[in-house]
Amino acid sequence: MHSNYDKFPYVEISKSSALCFTGWQHILLEIKRLADFKGQSKTIICIDLYHGVDAAKMLDTVKSHLLPAAVIQTNASLKDSDQIQQMVFPFVTDDQIFGKISSLEITDFFDAAKLNQHREQIQAIESGIVVVLGEGAALFAEADILIYADLARWEIQKRMKRGQVGNFGVSNLDEGFALKYKQGYFLDWRVFDRHKLAFFDQIDYFIDANIADEPKMLGAEIYRKGLDQTVKRPFRVVPFFDPGPWGGQWLKEVADLDRDEINYAWGFDCVPEENSLLFKVGEHIFELPSINLVLTRPKQLLGQAVFDEFGAEFPIRFDFLDTMQGGNLSLQVHPTRAYIQEHFGMSYTQDESYYFLEAQDDACVYLGTHKGVNAEAMIADLEKAQREMTDFDAEKYVNKLPVKKHDHILIPAGTIHCSGKNAVVLEISATPYIFTFKLWDWGRLGMDGKPRPINIEHGKNVIDYGRDEDWVKQHLFNNITNISLNGHVQEESTGLHETQFIETRRHWFDSKVTHYTNGTLNVVNLVEGRQVMVESPDKLFEPYVIYYAETFIVPADVPSYTITPAGEAAGTRCATLKAYIRT
């Protein structure tokens, strides 16, 4: 069956192609036009960057097109690398995987004396164009024109893997990807999001720098119009996919991915911290980090109650775990809320669930420990297996339960678990997504040919041994409650566990279903059926087509929406899984 899955969903903003400037020549001509229009004897142009944008590639082009009287490069004012390493260590730590969420500001990375010297230098120039280029440029002067060049985190990760990008202010280009990612997650991206948000309303132009040699620029008015339009309608972020040591073959077919890749383990189709959002402006596609929508329109997107609880953070995460013709996931556990607060500075933890989109006859889930298990013996065997690279008998200690298509397994923090091979999981979880304590990885190596980090020291502190076979079957295995049923629509509550803050509702339907957001964010995946149409009962947004396995976001500002089987699926039985925050 052919794939309909849309890998490049967009929000259409404007019919005028002239509003998007493509290529450095057109971009800098537009900036020069605005500088000339201002008619000042001296014009300060600050080109601020998210870390990972290549400033060196911009430099010669900026000089040749703007003919500035002076160019100030912000990296000349940074503290030296050793000073920065010492400053960031309390957040980065010496752990292979985990750190602590940083409270640093971008100003902490600059040498105050050097920064002031550059500020005085800029002030002393009497005429002409002065360009300030680099991370933190907005700090150096009150800009007459402020430009922000941005990147999505997924693109930054790809550049890290290629050895093109290290961490901010330090010389670690050759560092392994995992350590660079860790410093990005706990430190860099927090610092840069705070800085970007502080100056967001002062920015005149936004540059899409995701394709290094094909920059695009939007005026701030159009950019903000795009954000405003997005929170008034259902939308999708741009999914991305990654191979893994246990990865499978299902995503290749369903999402029409590169068949030559060895596998795809993960499909990330609703992780707004790392996904992109695409705006269609005339004939142009403009890419921006979807986190910008969360940071700048949180109440419209999340709803007041969710914003009050979580702030400007998107608290629900949907992704795929594909083990079809692959292997078991690592045996793992997630930290309790108290543990993640104490050790990592996070306010909530990675509660999650597995919804099985597909499952072969031998599909299973490892979930909870056996009744009366000897905890000390289990940890000792895990440590021995890790230390001596020998086998670990998981089934001696952990329940192995068969699963089938459309089963929903709940996994509150502290529950030992993993999905087995030959299944496809739609993982629905809270957002602190890297806090997985791997206990055993089935003796295999990572994609880089090296052992994957194991976290028994953390994991042994949070395993709840009361979650035995009887308990997990009663509380975590298809804990489904019928909410309503008529001839055409059945609504069920499928979780999550009472200790978790996410509610999930499954709808089976062969005709139109009306959903009400009640002023709170909805995240929805089409888990059965080829195609549905999402519409506004009040014609507040254009009809939106969703295909099988696609995840879409419905902002809190959308009061209601309908979902109807459409196209090839018209009149057939479909199903959606909807998640929202319990309030």
Mean per-residue pLDDT, 27-50: 94
Q: What local confidence, expressed as pLDDT, does residue 494 receive?
A: 94
Angstrom distances, CA of residue 282 to CA of 14, 23, 493:
6, 16, 42
CATH 2.60.120.10 given to domain 240-474:
yes
Question: How many angstroms separate the CA atoms of 259 and 477, rounded?
Answer: 34
The residues, any chain, with a CB within 8 Å of residue 486's CB and separated by 6 or more, are none
State which amino acid sits at residue 257. Answer: L
- H or E segment to which residue 577 belongs: strand 574-581
Which pTM value belongs to this model?
0.94
Same fold, 11-230 and 481-581: no
The model's confidence at residue 288, banded by pLDDT at 50, 70 and 90, is very high
The model's confidence at residue 342, banded by pLDDT at 50, 70 and 90, is confident
Domain ranges (residues) in the chain: 11-230, 240-474, 481-581
Which listed CATH number (3.40.250.10, 2.60.120.10, 1.10.1040.10, 2.60.40.3880) goes with 481-581?
Answer: 2.60.120.10
Q: What local confidence, expressed as pLDDT, does residue 17 receive?
A: 64
Above 70 in pLDDT, residue 205?
yes
User: At 574, phi and psi to the nearest 5?
Assistant: -120, 170
Mean per-residue pLDDT, 320-325: 97
Computed over its alpha carbons, how large is the radius of gyration of the chain? 25
HEC string of 328-348 equals CCCEEECCCHHHHHHHHCCCC
Mean per-residue pLDDT, 268-292: 95
The residues, any chain, with a CB within 8 Å of residue 82's CB and separated by 6 or more, are none
The residues, any chain, with a CB within 8 Å of residue 530's CB and separated by 6 or more, are 4, 547, 548, 567, 568, 569, 572
Query: In sequence order, what E strands does 87-184 have?
Result: 128-134, 145-150
Of 156, 239, 243, 294, give the one whose Cα is nearest residue 447. 243
**Number of residues written out for the chain:** 583
Question: What's the CATH number for 11-230?
Answer: 3.40.50
Q: What is the mean pLDDT of the chain?
A: 93
Q: Find residue 334's DSSP bridge partners.
A: none
Give residue-wise pLDDT tens across range 85-119.
999 999 988 887 788 888 999 999 999 999 999 99
Write the DSSP string, 38-64: HT-SEEEEEEEE-BTB-HHHHHHHHHH
Give residue-wise pLDDT tens across range 226-276.
999 999 999 999 999 999 999 999 999 999 999 999 999 999 999 999 999
The model's confidence at residue 572, banded by pLDDT at 50, 70 and 90, is very high
Give residue-wise pLDDT tens across range 433-466.
567 889 999 988 877 787 788 889 889 999 999 9
Question: Mutual orientation of helices 23-38 and 55-66 as an angle, nearest 10°?
Answer: 50
Mean per-residue pLDDT, 136-159: 96
Q: Find residue 110's DSSP bridge partners.
A: 78
Give residue-wise pLDDT tens across range 486-516.
889 999 999 877 878 899 999 999 999 999 9
Mean per-residue pLDDT, 283-312: 96
Angstrom distances, CA of residue 401 to CA of 283, 304, 332, 369, 437:
51, 40, 16, 11, 21
State which amino acid sits at residue 471. Answer: W
The residues, any chain, with a CB within 8 Å of residue 381's CB and separated by 6 or more, are 392, 393, 396, 397
Q: What local confidence, expressed as pLDDT, does residue 430 receive?
A: 82
User: What is the percent of the chain with per-residue pLDDT over 90, rounded to a whole number?
Assistant: 82
